Structure 1
Amino acid sequence: MRKKQWQGWGPGEQPEQHYLIEPRALAGGGDIRHVSAFLRASGWRDKSKRNGPLIMESPDRAVLLSYDPHVLPGGWTVRSAARGDQAEWWAVLGRQTPVEIVAGLTDALTRPRSAHAPDVWAPLEEQHWRTRPEGRNYTATSPDGMAWMHFCQDPHGDAVWWSGAKDQQGNGWTAQFSPSTPMHFMQAFSAALASPEPVMRPCGRVPRSGQIRTTSVSVLPSQLIAWQHARIATARAATWARNWNANRPRTTPRAHAGGARTRR
């Protein structure tokens, strides 16, 4: 285990021990507020009931997100109603899916769709995942063999996306996406899954796994709060910009009141 000390501690604060974990796919679930606080700052409504599961609804009421750890198998569910040419779709992610990977999908729900054609496999290939076709199916596996992304298609043409991670002790998670899940959401998920950036967990929340690498760091409470606020501020700024663009008055060029005079 490596140790690292953050600089710039403030007066009167006591540092707390945290751990940076690699690979992120095996870091465990984490704090669900990483997902929910960003959505709330993006204008989503929190419809959770006291002591009940987390339930959040998109501003247009088309998408519903829930997290329930008290049922089996428990975890995250995203459901979207049909809109225009887009059929209804769903995604189910296990309870131990790292929140940073869940956020890859849920953060994308708050952003406009890119004009570029999505490529689910590109983020994985950029991080040197092994990709291989298997008949009608296609599979990508992380370099360490612990995480995967599958595209499966049966003889009838019905398809499903399946992803997950598992260590040699059997700890892990799986995620499944409906055939109609928009590809730009799938790409956002695969980018978060393949990211080489470690994720942070507090002392006592580090999974017991022989396949993870940990770096001990001393972090001030004010630093944790500042990082959380920066993420929320990003969501609020993007939401304000979208609302301003949607509601600002539309003007059209008008010809000069006197018109153009023709010289004779």
Structure 2
Amino acid sequence: MKKQWTGWGQHEQAEQHYLVEPRALAGGGDIRHISEFLRASGWRDTSEKGGPLLLQSPDRTVRIAYNPHVQPGGWTVHGLAAGDQAEWWATLGRQTPVEILAGLTDALTQPRSAHAPNVWAPLEEHQWRAQSEGRHYTATSPDGSAWLHFRQDGSGNAVWWSGAKDQQGSAWTAQFTSTTPMHLVQAFSAALASPEPVMRPRGRLPHSAKIRATSVSVLPSELRAWQQARITAARAATWARNSVRRPRPRTTVPPHAPAGGARARR
């Protein structure tokens, strides 16, 4: 007798994962969350074998690097001067959760909103505590584990500094130069303030008494489907942008050849 087909994943074994909150203390995570999305968005992978991850935007104005083999190691996002935009940098420690970094890197692939950016709005929405002191302004998460700090030096140059810490000290820090586009800093702050937990596999949980971890069973096919959905969305958005930019085919009818003109050869 033939065995009856009972559906995809019938022989799969569920794997234990954890939903971790607050997300700022969840640890770095899988860098493919960043790299595969950018590749699907048309970014070029210029990494050398065995070297750090290097990705370049389609217009070659932004480069993203991840190098865990140096101290302190982590992420560097570098934007070249272009038009009215001055050169800018953002550096983030290697324990920066990829879901928070993706707020910034995903925004690099999307058209800029017509609305003026407001870095503090996502933090206020989620009840972060604000404190000002002269030219310094700090917002802290309700549980005190994460912060975003703004300051101006004597010349009026602005610096954005962010990070997270647990009972053992600093988990990670991030810094943005004064020239970093504000809509990118806002995208980062929105991802930082999000109350949504992030998923980590068993064995990848940070040792921190400040995190709350909820055990969940996940099929490998489910995990692949979630990852693929993010990549598919990036490809669809890239195709839509490119189709708008692509010149439309000419629809005018060419003039008829004059009577008695040369005939096409057979």
SS for the counterpart of 1:232 is: helix
Distance 2:93 2:250 in 1: 49
- Segments of structure 2 that go 5 or more residues without pairing to the other structure are 1-6, 252-266
Question: For residues 32-86 of structure 1, what are the alpha-carbon distances to aligned partners after superposition, in whole Å with 9 as ceiling and x for unaligned?
Answer: 0000000000000000000100000000000000000000000000000011111
- Segments of structure 1 that go 5 or more residues without pairing to the other structure are 1-7, 253-264
Whether the 8 Å CA contact 1:9–1:220 is kept in 2: the answer is: no
Range 63-72 or range 154-163, more displaced: 154-163
Question: What's the TM-score, normalizing by structure 1?
Answer: 0.91
Q: What's 2:148 paired with?
A: 149
SS for the counterpart of 1:190 is: helix
Distance 1:186 1:158 in 2: 16
Whether the 8 Å CA contact 1:27–1:206 is kept in 2: the answer is: yes
Q: What's 2:56 paired with?
A: 57
SS for the counterpart of 2:72 is: coil
Distance 1:153 1:238 in 2: 37
Distance 2:185 2:202 in 1: 32
Which amino acid counterpart does residue 182 of structure 1 have in structure 2?
A: P
Which amino acid counterpart does residue 54 of structure 2 have in structure 1?
A: I
Give the 5 Å matches for 1:48-197.
48-197=47-196
Question: For residues 218-245 of structure 1, what are the alpha-carbon distances to aligned partners after superposition, in whole Å with 9 as ceiling and x for unaligned?
Answer: 0000001000000000000000000000
Give the 5 Å matches for 1:22-37.
22-37=21-36
Which amino acid counterpart does residue 64 of structure 1 have in structure 2?
A: R
Question: For residues 145-187 of structure 1, what are the alpha-carbon distances to aligned partners after superposition, in whole Å with 9 as ceiling and x for unaligned?
Answer: 1100000111221221000000012250000000000010000
SS for the counterpart of 2:47 is: coil
Which amino acid counterpart does residue 209 of structure 1 have in structure 2?
A: S
Q: What's 1:12 paired with?
A: 11
Whether the 8 Å CA contact 1:140–1:150 is kept in 2: the answer is: yes
Residue 248 (structure 1) shift? 3.4
Distance 1:104 1:251 in 2: 40
SS for the counterpart of 1:160 is: strand
Which amino acid counterpart does residue 223 of structure 1 have in structure 2?
A: E
Distance 2:154 2:32 in 1: 41
Q: What's 1:229 paired with?
A: 228
SS for the counterpart of 2:169 is: coil
Equivalent residues, number: 246
Whether the 8 Å CA contact 1:142–1:148 is kept in 2: the answer is: yes
Structure number with greater Rg is 2
Range 115-124 or range 168-177, more displaced: 168-177
- Cα distance change, pair 52–68 in 1 and its aligned pair in 2 (3 A): same
Q: What's 1:202 paired with?
A: 201
Distance 1:151 1:13 in 2: 49
- Give structure 1 regions of 4+ aligned residues with deviation exceeding 2 angstroms: none
Whether the 8 Å CA contact 2:163–2:170 is kept in 1: the answer is: no
Distance 1:162 1:75 in 2: 15
Distance 2:157 2:196 in 1: 34
Whether the 8 Å CA contact 1:44–1:58 is kept in 2: the answer is: yes
Residue 122 (structure 1) shift? 0.2
Distance 1:250 1:66 in 2: 39
- The RMSD of aligned alpha carbons is 1.6
